[in-house]
Amino acid sequence: MEVAKVESVARFSSDKYNRVPIIGTGGLLRLLCFETNQHVPPHRHAKADEYFYTIKGRAQITVGGEEATAESGYIIRVQAGIVHEWKNQDKRLILLSVLVPLSCYDSANEAIKMEYV
């Protein structure tokens, strides 16, 4: 078992936002750490949906031309192939990003089954 407090794993840089892979996930699960006024330019993930959970802070997200404000506690889904971007506002921002490859949905029902011991 590995346990870590988000604040101890988060890494910030004055140059650009940081992507911090969560141990053992190959980058599919990561923290995105922003200083004030940092952003992620428009981009897309052709083969994966991306889910964001706002851990700390407040930011503007644009998904497919539609804008929203994400604050602490918000979850946002961006479907595969849709252009999206983030713009941080006035304080540090920490997002949890989860990339779910489209092929994973086929086996999700099997994967979520629990085996009691």
pLDDT digits (tens, 9 = 90+) for 61-85: 999 999 999 999 999 999 999 999 9
Give the amino acid at 1: M
Model confidence, pTM: 0.88
Beta-sheet pairing, 75-78 with 18-21: unpaired
Task: Enter the CATH code of domain 17-103.
Answer: 2.60.120.10
Is pLDDT of 114 > 90?
no
- Give residue limits of the domains in the chain: 17-103
Q: Answer positive or negative: Cα dihedral of 105, 78, 15, 95.
A: negative
78 has which bridge partners?
50
